[in-house]
């Protein structure tokens, strides 16, 4: 099973970094969780976000956010639309479902033949 977060939106912020005070380099990223197994692919409703300063290479955690960063984050969060949750069955799933259905029909047919004798 493979779980990964795919970047859906990345925004450069014009706020000062709380660490290095640079006005250039803050980047807000929204990511959505995707799961892939042998049987299916799924888009979940799990969303992650982070703010990184590319000038000082520091992750800015919510505790460090200034009021300005928080307002800008809330604005972008409202404007962000994640992909709809969905599940896509792969070929192997359909083969297993079909094989199970065939076995079930064969068993029912065999029981009906035995009961009529």
Distance CA 88, CA 43 (A): 9
* pLDDT tens-digit map of 78-94: 998 899 999 999 999 99
Q: What is the pTM of this model?
A: 0.76
* pLDDT tens-digit map of 52-85: 999 888 999 999 888 999 999 999 999 988 999 9
């Amino acid at each position: 099973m493979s779980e990964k977060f795919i970047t859906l939106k990345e925004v450069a912020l014009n706020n000062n970094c709380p660490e290095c005070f640079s006005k250039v380099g803050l980047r807000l990223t929204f990511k959505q969780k995707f799961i892939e197994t042998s049987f299916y692919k799924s888009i979940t409703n799990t969303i992650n976000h982070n703010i990184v300063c590319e000038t000082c290479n520091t992750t800015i955690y919510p505790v460090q956010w200034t009021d300005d960063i928080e307002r800008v984050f809330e604005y972008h969060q409202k404007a962000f639309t994640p992909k709809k949750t969905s599940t896509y069955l792969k070929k192997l799933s359909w083969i297993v479902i079909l094989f199970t259905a065939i076995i079930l029909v064969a068993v029912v047919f065999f029981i009906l033949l035995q009961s009529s004798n």
